[in-house]
Structures are given as structure tokens and as C-alpha cells.
Structure 1
Amino acid sequence: MHTDACLVVAFLNTVDLERGADLLDDPEGWRRWSEDREVAPNDVAEARAARDSLRAALGDPRLTVRPLDVPLRFSLTDSGPALITPDAVTAVLAAATRLTVRGDWVRLKICPADDCLWAFYDESRNRSRTWCSMRVCGNREKARSWRARTASVHN
């Protein structure tokens, strides 16, 4: 997976609905997450607003799409323009912008399983992947559908 996609997916998955865990509820965890990516941690409210806005834009059914206005700066260097990303939110938004420019934003998806909603990057050739994992969420949904079909036949 491309570096930009890895960063965006990691940020989107700082909330884990299956486990009921949110990294942004743990100041030390959020600081480590940011430092591991060599950026400064933002204020938790700012990070949560950015994460929720991005997740909503990708189709997280729990969230409403809200405008997000975060100023981005760039620098013109010998190798061309570069976005300045001093903190986690601007680094993620710069990565999301680069994905959009390359036409890869559509590869970012939210798993439709209600008990999962994990963000993932669809690396399939035709961009048709639906589940974060066919072995886990996809298999569970197929089993539910099969049980529903067989129950309706036997009733």
C-alpha cells in the first residue's frame, strides 16, 4: 500500500468500533501515534473533527459529512512544491489530497459491516472490494445472508 494511503487508513482506524476503543481518548497513545509518524499530535478535538469528517466522507454511516477547513501551507523547493505538514492532521489531509490528485481517493473505503466499519485501501484491480477482510467480515455477512435465505425457505 502507498505511504499516503497507509497514513490516512491508520488515522481513520484510530477508532476501533469492534473493540470499543478510541486512540484519541488516550492522550499518551495519541502522542505516540503521532511521534511514530514524525509529526506533532494535534489537539484531540481537532484530530477527532478531522477523522470524523474524513470517515463520513468515505461513508461511515454513524457520522454526518461536515465541512472541514484546515489551512494547508506549501513550500517551493528545488524539487518542486511540497505541502508543509508539521502536525498529524495536516499530514493526513496532505496525504488525502495527494490520493485525490492521483485518483486513488476512491480506493479508500469503510467496511459495511455494522460491527466493524474499519477503513481500508482497496488494492483490487477494478476497485470492487467491499469488505475489509473477506475471511472475517465478508464471511460473516455471507453466513448471515445464507441463514436468512434458508430460514425463509423453511418457514
Structure 2
Amino acid sequence: MKKKIIIISIAIIIGFVMMMSLDSSEKSDGVIFHVTLADPQMYENGEYTETFEIESGEYYFRFVPNGSSPEILSISLDGYSIEFFEDFKLENTLHETGISEYYTWEYLGENKITISEDQRVSININPNGNVMGSVSVSILQN
């Protein structure tokens, strides 16, 4: 039991280190939007909203979730020529290596976006009541 707790703790630490390393390399990876939601004060009325400029092109969402992340993460994008909405569902996968067990997490849902023209876009992220769970959300250019 203690080995499982230690392994889970190590996995969480590695996840946080990975999240922090994303901040320094984002611009070179085509990231046009990024937020790490780890503080309930970042939400207003239970939702996070931000506005940003986006150019025409193909984009996709990237998430860095963990076991405490919201089970359903609802995201909408609203702009001059785009209306996007998706409920992303958190799925965990158990990995057994023979000497340890650990979980990985990923959000499932339609994560591709097509922007037909340059515009200002508003993103709304709703953790559906779970403002205590942390998650990073990025939009990257294809």
C-alpha cells in the first residue's frame, strides 16, 4: 500500500514538472492560448473566460489533466465566424508494470478547430462545479 502511495505521489510530481516546463516552451510549439486552472479564484461564477486574437487556420486543444481534474470540462469558443462547444470527458487508464501500478488521464472529445478568418475569440471554460481540480488547457496551431 505504501509503495502505491509513493508511486502515485511521484506521478503527480512528474505531472506538475511537465506542466511547468510547458510554460517555457509554449511559444515555440505553436501555442496561441494557454491557461493552468489550479486556483478557484480564477473562476467567476464557476467559469473561466478570456479573450484572445487568433488567425485563420487549423488548431487543436491540448490538456494536462491529473486525477483531481474536472470529470467534465465544457469549453466554448465564440468569435465573428466561429461557434465551438464541446464537453470533454476525463478518462483514466491504469498501467501495470509488474512492480507498480499508476494511472494516466486524458480528455476525450472533439479537439480540432477550424478558424476561417483572423478574429478575436472568447474562450469559456466550465469545470462543471469542480473548481478545486487543476488542469492546463492549451490551443495549438496544427
TM-score (norm: length of structure 1): 0.28
Larger relative strand fraction:
2
| Structure with more of its chain in helix, by fraction | 1
Between the two structures, name the one with larger relative contact order (CA 8 Å, sep ≥ 6): 2
Work out which of the two has the higher radius of gyration on C-alpha atoms and give 1 or 2.
1
